[in-house]
Chain A
Amino acid sequence: MSEGDMAVIKPKMLKSYIWLQTTDGSIQQVEQEVAMFCPLICREVIQKGMGSSKTHAISLPERVNTAMLSLILDYCRFHQVLGRSNKECKSFDEKFIRMDTQRLCELTSAADSLQLKPLVDLTSRALARIIEGKTPEEIREIFHLPDDLTEEEKLEPLKNVTDDPRIRLLNRLYARKRKELKEREKLKNTENGEQNDDRSVDDLLSFINGEIGDSKEIKSSKNKKKNRRRKDQQKNTCLYEANGSHEEKSLNFVCPSDDVNKFRPSPSLTLTLQDLEHDSLNDQLELDDGDIDDEIDPALKAQIDREVEDFARRLNSDWPQRMQEILSLGQERRRAQFSVNGNDSLRRYA
């Protein structure tokens, strides 16, 4: 018999202890029956004979730090006692998992690395209960998740809660915009080969809000930084646009899609025009749009304001002239964006 085995079944000791070492260096001894409740420790003791002395302490996986270890041992200490009634176990469990979400996540991780399945189940259920029924924003806030899906979110069709015809139109326009974005993406980023399962993201987004009509509009892709930034610029301008002269614009732009299509000389041009349209409408009706405002540099604001005024003026003139303007505006804008990019501090994703 190996030394380890001997240590485990020593009859003369009243209580056997097992030595455990966490990654942050601390070594402690734990009652054998408590420690053996964890399958990983159990295996280490039986198969490798570790844990019998301080020098041969079982080194625990890195996800188990001292605080977590003590929690886990508390759990084991309670549950390894046989003959506890269901009620007792349940009430202990309920009290046990009352902790903040960060610790809960840590505990899940630690329990998983020790292969302690009942505790993993318990903590997972607790986390599921926290997630249940909350909006993505609330969940992100609770768990401090990075909000790195903003672009796609903006494209997400709004909930058609009121059955407003304008919202329906907006959703359709959104879908078309996504399609065009994807085409643009394909044109511009041929070298990236990022053709992985992007499609599904958008599908999910559209159906999650139950947008039935747009199930056909599938193509969109995760935007690269460049595109994102560009659209940010557009959006920012539109934000101020919206505040400024939305009323008039809405009269012009909330028209059946056919009318809009009539004025479509080239795909890229239309894209620009529609971008502006959509974003402005979007901003007016947007439900949750905190992010853009935070990131705008005051120095840039003034410049954007000016551009907005400019643009608003131009839009309110009559159509043929407007078309001319837009044609030139489109090119100008692109140039302007590049220059703005050059020295601005407006950066979403550093």
Chain B
Amino acid sequence: MDSNSKLFKAWIEDRISGLPDAIVVHILSFLETRYAVQTCLLSHRWNNVWTYVPNLEVHVNSLKCGVDQHVRESGLVDRVLLFRNLSNIHKFHLACLGIEDYFYRIDAWICTAIRRNVVELELDLWTTPSNSYTGLLKLPRSIFICKTLVVLKLVLTDHVIAIPPDSSCFPSLKYLDVQLCHPVAAKSLAKLFSCRYSALEELIIHGNIGRLRGDEVLNLNISAPRLKRLQIRFCAVPEDDPYATDGGYEYKIFVNANAPNLEEFNVKYLLASYTLNSVKSLSKVELKLKGLHAGENLYFADRIHKLFAEIVNVKCLSVLASIVGDPDIAYQYPMPTFNNLNQLELRLQTCCSWQSLPIFLNASPNLEYLVLENNINCRAHGADIDDADDGDVDDSDDYDSHISDNYDEDDLVHEWSPPRVVPICLLSCLKTIYLRGFRGRSDEIEVAGYLLKHGKVLNKVTIHTSNFCEESVMELWQTFSRLPRGSKTCEIEWILPKL
């Protein structure tokens, strides 16, 4: 009875097989399909569990080990799709490298997923990096008319294009994430948005579109009446020569978003010409234009000014655009008045002057909450593609990144000259100030002193230092306690960085 007791013992200790089917399927749904399918070899109970897993995640990588591997892996996809039962696929993530060998099969896989009423589709399709290949994978038409598709993430390259049929497409699509991998024909990107996205709520475009050749112009017309969040995070930098003098293809890019319900608008890298028809609905805007330094082409000033005019009714604004502080520009392009602006986050690079502070303060009469971030790393022009597409990384949380080698010691830039007239918001409504990346330089203390002195309704000033040693913080603390305060209720809070 040796085998008997062994079996009995196994039954006692095997807890995972005792879990209900739904849970086991749930566990397997977190695995890459290859591993989920392997579980059918575990024991009888696990024989067919994998066929009920609604998520498929497949990676086909032909660069790994020769042709055999890739043929086998793509064969796996075929067989998985054939042998799993006919239930719906909830999520299909297909990541393939070297797709030039099996375009038609990819087409079949995507069509199968659509027939199984896929809800979330993620397509990372890459050809083998090489300059000579000229084939083209057009995503199947059934994607565009799929009624169940809610989330779509895809990568557009010069070998993978998506051209929707004429009228409205994606009837249920709420979330669209498009990654551009240069070189992408501007035409194909424009065509993707040539139809109406009736259900779309969130749109993200990121990556690098590369060089716009000759007379090529990119006209992105986004028609999405329900769009709430729009993120334009792509750049136009020729990858073969990031420091090219004919760079800055932004001037050839026009983004026209017909989104009357737009609530959030994020722009990173790209100062295209933006037209938004979202006069009343915008609540949160984030502009992160690191490469736009003071002293640049005045052309950009025009665009920035236009952009500010578009977002003039915003409630929360976060700006990183050093060009705003340029005195020539400030004179030529006066800032519009942000009447609804309640919260402002002003982020200044090391090359930037303090000039943008009074400009913004004067433009926001109803400002209540101010975040002032100083000493942001200012890299050389054109090198910003290094941090291209850091996704959701919120680098404003990492204060230590401000301690950099690029610290600019140019005193002129950091001179603070107080404005002639005290901004209204300081006198009447600014209640909270948050200073980040504070180093304790004399000009920084001057600025803080100015705000403290004229902030008549200030409640709280929080200072987040990037100084490590306690003595300098004590010094600063003492200096600050001696500064005159315009508001009796104002208290100062110091936050030291974690060691």
- CB interface residues, A 130-155, toward B, < 8 Å: 131-133, 135-136, 139-140, 143-149, 153
- Tell whether, in the assembled complex, residue A146 and residue B41 are in contact, meaning their CB atoms are under 8 Å apart: no
Among B70-78, B101-109, B186-194, the one that faces the other chain is B70-78
**Which residues of chain B from 27 to 77 have any CB-CB distance to chain A below 8 Å in the complex?**
27-32, 35, 37-44, 46-48, 51, 68, 71-73, 75-76
A-B CB contact pairs (8 Å), 20 listed: A102-B13, A108-B23, A108-B27, A112-B22, A120-B26, A136-B39, A143-B15, A146-B14, A148-B43, A148-B44, A149-B44, A149-B47, A163-B68, A200-B83, A201-B47, A207-B79, A210-B72, A212-B72, A347-B3, A350-B1
Q: Is the CB of A145 within 8 A of B10?
A: yes
CA distance A348 to B2 in the complex (A): 10
Chain B CB within 10 Å, residue with most, of A112, A128, A146: A146
Closest to A204 in B: B40
Candidate in B3, B9, B42, B75 with the most chain A CB atoms within 10 angstroms: B42
The reply to whether A143 and B23 form a contact with Cβ atoms under 8 Å apart is no
Which of A105, A133, A156, A210 is in CB contact (< 8 Å) with B16? A105
Q: Which residues of A contact B76 (CB under 8 A)?
A: 207-208, 210
User: A207 and B75: CB pair below 8 A?
Assistant: yes
Q: Which residues of B contact A153 (CB under 8 A)?
A: 41
Choice from A133, A140, A200 contacting B48 with Cβ under 8 Å:
A200
Tell me if B17 is interfacial: C-beta within 8 Å of chain A. Answer: yes
The verdict on B380 contacting chain A, using a C-beta distance below 8 Å, is no
Contact yes or no, B71 A201, CB < 8 A: no
**Is residue A227 within 8 Å, beta carbon to beta carbon, of the partner chain?**
no
Instruction: Evaluate contact between B19 and A201: CB separation under 8 angstroms.
Output: no
By beta carbon, the residue of chain B nearest A139 is B42
B135 contacts A by Cβ under 8 Å: no
Interface residues of B in 230-282 (CB under 8 A from A): none
Complex CA–CA separation, A101 to B39 (angstroms): 17
- Is residue B474 within 8 Å, beta carbon to beta carbon, of the partner chain? no
> How far is it, in angstroms, between the C-alpha of A106 and the C-alpha of B12 when the chains are bound?
12
- Name B38's contact: one of A136, A144, A148 (CB within 8 Å): A136
Are the C-beta atoms of A125 and B16 separated by less than 8 Å? no
Give A145 to B17 CA distance when docked, in angstroms: 8
**Do A295 and B3 touch (CB < 8 A)?**
yes
Residues of A within 8 A of B (CB): 101-102, 105-106, 108-109, 112, 120-121, 124-125, 127-129, 131-133, 135-136, 139-140, 143-149, 153, 156, 163, 197, 200-201, 203-205, 207-208, 210, 212, 215, 295, 347-350
Complex CA–CA separation, A10 to B126 (angstroms): 63
A102 with B75: CB separation less than 8 A: no
Given contact pairs A136-B38, A200-B48, enumerate 14 new A-B contacts (beta carbons under 8 Å): A102-B15, A112-B23, A124-B27, A132-B31, A132-B35, A136-B41, A145-B16, A145-B46, A146-B43, A148-B44, A153-B41, A203-B79, A204-B79, A350-B3
* Partner among A105, A136, A156 whose Cβ is within 8 Å of the Cβ of B15: A105
B42, A149: Cβ atoms closer than 8 Å:
yes
Asked if residues B37 and A208 are in contact (CB atoms below 8 Å), the reply is: yes
Determine the chain B residues whose CB is within 8 A of the CB of A348 once the complex forms: 3
Residues of chain A within 8 A of B29, CB atoms compared: 128
Name B residues whose Cβ lies closer than 8 Å to a Cβ of A.
1, 3-4, 7, 9-11, 13-20, 22-23, 26-32, 35, 37-44, 46-48, 51, 68, 71-73, 75-76, 79, 83
A128-B31, A131-B35, A197-B48 known; A136+B16 contact, CB < 8 A: no
| Chain B positions within 8 Å of A208 at CB level | 37-38, 40-41, 76
Q: Verify B7–A146 contact, CB threshold 8 A.
A: yes
Q: Which chain B positions have C-beta within 8 A of A120? A: 23, 26
Q: Could you tell me the dominant secondary structure of chain A's interface residues?
A: helix
Q: Are A127 and B16 in contact (CB under 8 A)?
A: yes
The answer for the CA separation of A215 and B44 in the assembled complex, in Å, is 22
Q: Closest chain B residue to A207 by CB distance?
A: B79
Q: Is the CB of B19 within 8 A of A109?
A: yes
CA A124 to CA B73, docked complex, whole Å: 26
Instruction: Please name the 7 residue pairs, one residue from A and one from B, whose CB atoms are nearest each other, closest first.
Output: A210-B72, A128-B30, A105-B15, A144-B13, A207-B79, A146-B10, A136-B41
CA distance A144 to B1 in the complex (A): 19
CB-CB nearest in chain B for A197 = B48
Q: How far is the CA of A350 from the CA of B6 in the complex (A)?
A: 10
What distance in Å separates the Cβ of A106 from its nearest Cβ neighbour in chain B? Answer: 6
Residue on B nearest A201 in the bound complex, by CB: B47
Closest-by-CB residue of A relative to B3 is A350
- Chain A residues within 8 Å of B7, by CB: 146, 349-350
B19 adjacent to A105 (CB under 8 Å): yes
Q: How far is the CB of A275 from chain B (nearest CB, A)?
A: 23
Cross-chain contact B83 with A145 (CB below 8 angstroms): no
CB distance from A348 to the nearest CB of B (A): 6
Cβ contact within 8 Å between A124 and B30: yes
B26 touches which one: A102, A124, A145, A212 (CB < 8 A)? A124
Query: Does the CB pair B75–A101 fall under 8 Å?
Result: no
Contacts of A207 in B (CB 8 A): 75-76, 79, 83
Once the chains bind, are B35 and A133 in contact (CB under 8 Å)?
Answer: yes
Residues of B within 8 A of A201 (CB): 40, 47
Chain B residues, CB < 8 A from A149:
41-44, 47
| Candidate in A200, A204, A210, A215 with the most chain B CB atoms within 10 angstroms | A204
User: Smallest Cβ distance from A203 to chain B, in angstroms?
Assistant: 6
CB distance from B396 to the nearest CB of A (A): 15
- Determine if B3 and A144 form an interchain contact, defined as CB atoms under 8 angstroms apart: no
A192 vs B20: C-alpha distance when bound (angstroms): 28
CA distance in complex: A139, B14 (Å)? 11
Instruction: Tell me which of A128, A131, A145, A349 contacts B43 (CB under 8 A).
Output: A145
Give the residue name and chain of the A residue nearest to B30 (CB). Answer: A128
Neighbouring A residues of B37 by C-beta, 8 Å: 204, 208
Residues of B within 8 A of A112 (CB): 19-20, 22-23
- Least Cβ–Cβ distance between B175 and chain A, in angstroms: 20
Please, which residues of chain A bring their CB within 8 A of the CB of B13? 102, 144
Bound-state CA distance A120–B24 (Å) is 11
